[in-house]
Amino acid sequence: MRIIIAGGGNIGEKLAELCSKEKHDVVVIEKEEKIAEKLSESIDALVLCGDASDRKILKDADIEHSDAIVAMTGDDKTNLMVCEVAKSYNIPIVVARVNDTESESVFMKLGITAAINTTTSVIFAFKKALEKPGEKIISLVAGEKAEILDKVVSKKSVITGKKVEDISNKFIVAAIYRNGEFMRPKNNTQIREGDILTICVPVEDVKGVEKLF
């Protein structure tokens, strides 16, 4: 696979190293001359010094024959421009780093393969480290305004024996895992001890919801 990585910072460098070790054909575009020089000496990849949003630089990187492009600069505007150019060349895989949460929807509307919010990813990693027994955070969604959690229903849970519709004003039940079986919850589905609920909760309501379990 021929991969263009726009942005040769720490993350871009490590990604380039990994892809190169996996025998992919890697091209790194880095704007800062000193960083580009260092990369050309340390990684097994073609390193070009220039602005990744410049069509000329992307043509020098042979974008027309590339299979994937990753926009990893620290500037969302640059990453967006790189993605727009990549889409115009019908690159099969277009992945972007998103630095500002508010920019995420703009990238997704572009129809790229994936927009990875580095801020959310770091917050998510630290939040997982704070997990309590019986709780598993799966993701932060809706611009970090909501959490998707797995919660175990205990015998003492306030919601044990209640129906899904009885608690719909507290949180959204997306799935129920019961006795090794996946269940699609309905309004009249009764919640039982031992159920693992996959729920979506506004961040500000998480503490209150925990008391129900």
Residue 134: its pLDDT value, please?
65
Q: Can you give the length of the chain in residues?
A: 213
Separation between Cα atoms, residue 3 and residue 82, nearest integer Å: 13
Closest CA to 206 of 143, 117, 131, 122: 131
Say what the pLDDT of residue 190 is.
95
Residue 196 lies in a domain: yes
Cα dihedral 40, 44, 46, 48 sign: negative
Do residues 29 and 40 lie in contact, with contact meaning Cβ atoms separated by under 8 Å? no
Distance between CA 74 and CA 9 in Å, rounded?
8
Same domain, 53 and 114: yes
Q: What is the mean pLDDT of each run of 10 residues along the chain (213 residues)?
A: 95 93 95 94 94 93 95 94 94 94 86 89 81 76 86 92 93 94 94 94 89 89
- 126 domain-assigned: no
Domain extent, residue 84, equals 2-121
pLDDT number for residue 143: 77
- The C-alpha torsion from 47 through 50 and 52 to 56, rounded to 10°, is -100
Assess whether 162 and 91 both reside in one domain: no
Q: Is residue 62 a part of any domain in this protein?
A: yes
Q: Note whether 171 and 201 are same-domain residues.
A: yes
Query: What's residue 133's pLDDT?
Result: 67
- Does one domain contain both 10 and 100? yes
Task: Give me the residue label for tokens 């602005």.
Answer: 51
- The angle formed by the CA atoms of residues 110, 92 and 32, to the nearest 5 degrees, is 75
CATH of the domain at 136: 3.30.70.1450
